[in-house]
Amino acid sequence: MIISINRRNDKENYMKQYKIDKENISTLEALEYIKENIDSTLTYRSGCKSGSCGSCSILVNDKEVLACKCKLNDDITIKPLKNGTIIKDLVVDLEQTAKLLFKSKAFIEKFQDINIKKEDEELIDLQSTCILCQSCYSTCPVYSVNKDFLGPFALTRVLRYTNDKKEANNTKKLDAIQVNGIWDCTLCGNCTIACPQFIDSKTDIMNLRMKSVQNGYSDPTIQSNDFLNEFNNYNDFNTGFNPNSF
């Protein structure tokens, strides 16, 4: 089988092909084989080898996958995740997403010591299973043009902490996600499709929008009503036309 890998050195990106004669292996095992037997300069990240640390996330045939969970059957192309700065070959810089997590206050700010019931745990169960693989950031069209967009995982994590009974300041978290946050998401659902943990960030963002409205915020794009004003001004008459029926 032929494996084409997008390499990057100090100066440039280039594609390099490797021929390996192995069957029934994962993409990560293929990378390990290449590094050990063909080209020791190949650089990639990996950790647990069991789908639970998120460090081996890459693009296989332009789709985000965990290399340790992705079986190889055919010739493939491997690239680093999109939307991040490439440090070398398949390794991308994680610093920007770490900053976004901090900026969105996606953590417990004010701890309150209360008894947690089973149903309280269930409220935050799914969002707590994130393995920080960055696949959702790689696939997000908003993050691709705006690196200050808080992004799918940070927003999912904000929902996780607003729903956490141990957080005494839970509604305060909504303050941090109004700018470059929930209202900038296009609700395209790419993040939901890419997530290996089946976390539905798109729905989490919709839930955060609902919570924000319940707490006095409103959608800034509706508030400015730019499209409606432009339509009526351009035609030099006020038709009363309202495309959104509100």
Residues of this chain that interact with ligand SF4 (CB under 6 A) are 54, 130-136, 139-142, 152-153, 156, 185-191, 194-197, 199, 201-202, 205
Structure tokens at 45: 């990240």
Q: What is the dihedral of CA 31, 37, 39, 41, to 10 degrees?
A: 80
Residue 114 or 222 having the CB closest to ligand SF4? 222
Select from ligand FES, ligand SF4, none the partner in contact with residue 46, using the beta carbon and a kind-dependent cut-off of 5 to 8 Å: ligand FES
CA angle 3, 132, 152 (to 5 degrees): 105
**Does 35 contact ligand FES by CB under 6 A?**
no
Residue linked to tokens 């395209």: 188
Select from ligand FES, ligand SF4, none the partner in contact with residue 199, using the beta carbon and a kind-dependent cut-off of 5 to 8 Å: ligand SF4
Cα separation, 64 vs 134, whole angstroms: 9
Residue 69 or 165 having the CB closest to ligand FES? 69
CB 107 → ligand SF4: shortest distance, Å?
A: 15
**Does 78 contact ligand FES by CB under 6 A?**
no
Amino acid sitting at position 47: G
- The alpha-helical segments, DSSP class H, found in 91-140 are 95-103, 118-124, 135-139
Residue 90 or 174 having the CB closest to ligand FES? 90
Cα separation, 58 vs 189, whole angstroms: 19
Of these, 37, 38, 47, 229, which contacts ligand FES (CB under 6 A)? 47
Of these, 2, 15, 38, 48, which contacts ligand FES (CB under 6 A)? 48
Amino acid sitting at position 244: N
Cα separation, 26 vs 66, whole angstroms: 10
Which residues in this chain contact ligand FES in the complex, by CB under 6 A? 46-49, 51-56, 66-68
